[in-house]
Structure 1
Amino acid sequence: MELVYRSATVEDLQELVALLSNDPLGNQREDPAAPLNDAYINAFDAINHDPNNQLIVVELNDCLVGMLQITFIPYLTHIGSWRCLIEGVRIHSHFRGQGVGEKMLQHAIQLAKNKGCNMVQLTSDKQRTDAIRFYEKLGFKATHEGFKLAL
């Protein structure tokens, strides 16, 4: 399986939003209708212009099969280290269980190492039990309790 990793382009945006909405939780919070909501375009523009953010797509045979967003964050803790935050991990439903997600996360972890990060962190909704098992299989540990405040 030859996966291609590249930065997302604005031309990918409609397909990326569709991918984000293609599960029970995403279906409740995303709006894949065309034309796209301007908020998606503005978010993409902000991500694209921030040197510490990368929106990565994964292709197989010229077909977009996955995505994730990486944010590199400088910290004062851990002796002024850098961390890599991974968000928005999605694999197209037709390609799940085939190793695409594992290779995509390994690629992201390598990018974090290349940046000099000493930690990779991510969150997963507690309802995503399959995703949690997947991350644990890759060596991620639930070491902290996370909190969110909707604004």
Structure 2
Amino acid sequence: MITVRTATSADVEQMAELLKELFAIEADFVFDRDKQVSGLKQLLESGKDRVFVAESGGRAVGMCSVLTLISTAEGGPVGLLEDLIVTAEFRRQGIGEKLLAAAIDWAEEQGLKRLQLLADKNNLPALKFYEKQAWRQTQLICLRKC
């Protein structure tokens, strides 16, 4: 049985392993356990962001996070969905949809006016998943300064 719940500090190591799997398919990121553990801990302690974990038999098999920002375009808080990953052996079982639904429900409860996400343009399975979930591409592109 799969349960989706809010992540806790006890989940950090398992979530770091999930990020390792995610970053292996995302061209823009390189896994660095120390950085990912630090980022996860900061998210969990922020008080304004949320991380969800999908669990099976005491094991984290999926996760996603919602970071909150203030948008001048929306005139208030919005959310950035990040790190949606389901470990390979548990894919195609509806876990991604459950994680996404939990994130959307939480965002609505918080009064977030919009959710957005970034996806690797070469990750066709992810792009098809988001399209199936009624997420649409915008006219914006992502730019980054390192």
TM-based fold match above 0.5 = yes
Change (3 A) 1:147 1:65: same
Number of equivalenced pairs: 144
Matched, 1:58 2:54: yes
- Contact between 2:4 and 2:98, CA under 8 Å: does it hold in 1? no
Q: Structure 1 residues 57 and 19, CA, compared in 2 at 3 Å: closer, same or farther?
A: same
- List gaps (5 residues or longer) in structure 2: none
Q: Partner amino acid for 2:144?
A: L
Instruction: State the distance in 1 between where 2:101 and 2:89 align.
Output: 20
1:113, distance to aligned residue in structure 2 (A)? 0.6
Runs of 4+ with deviation above 6 angstroms? none
> TM-score, normalized by length of structure 1?
0.83
Aligned-residue CA RMSD in angstroms? 2.1
Q: Percent identity?
A: 25
Distance in 1 between the 2:73 and 2:26 partners?
33
For 1:118, give the aligned amino acid: K
The answer to whether 1:67 aligns with 2:63 is: yes
- Distance, in Å, in 2 between the alignment partners of 1:46 and 1:84 is 16
**Relative contact order, CA 8 A, sep 6+: which one is greater?**
2
Task: Look up the match of 2:11.
Answer: 12
- Give 5+ residue unaligned stretches, structure 1: none
Task: Provide Cα deviations, 1:61-105, integer angstroms capped at 9, x if missing partner.
Answer: 322111111112222222x23211100111011110110001110
